[in-house]
Amino acid sequence: MRFVDTNVLLYGISRDASESGKAARAQSLLRDRDLGLSVQVLQEFYVQATRPTRPDALTHGQASGLVESFLRFRVQSVDVRLMRAALVTRDRYRLSYWDAAIIEAARALGCGVVLSEDLAHGQDYGGVQVVDPFRD
């Protein structure tokens, strides 16, 4: 199973012509069934998708409807155990807390791969490897 970071969801809804290749790739990925994500990813998606400064901002109803549709994937909750693990990972790998929480949510779901444009492609974080799905 692969873990999807927020940027994949956001490219999946992008109507920006300059992102059409990434949008098509994200939409293809999101048709797969072997995906996981976290409550953090869903929260970040909602906030960024409805941001008033976003050129193709979604309404609350559109974004919350998409969040509901993403619940078809396995979703990892953020709890105390995950937070503590993220703090250790943040320190060990010198990541931001939020990136470490992504890594630890993936680990908690049993995902060996995180699909993300934001983390270092190919980097292995103790058994969780980052793959940039938009890399040529």
Predicted TM-score (pTM) of this structure? 0.94
**Domain map (residue ranges) of the chain:** 2-131
Within 13 A of 105's CA, how many CA atoms are on the CB side? 27
Cα gap 72→35, rounded to integer Å:
9
Query: pLDDT tens digits, residue range 23-80?
Result: 999 999 999 999 999 999 999 999 999 999 999 899 999 999 999 999 999 999 999 9
Cα gap 43→57, rounded to integer Å:
15
CATH topology assigned to domain 2-131: Rossmann fold (3.40.50)
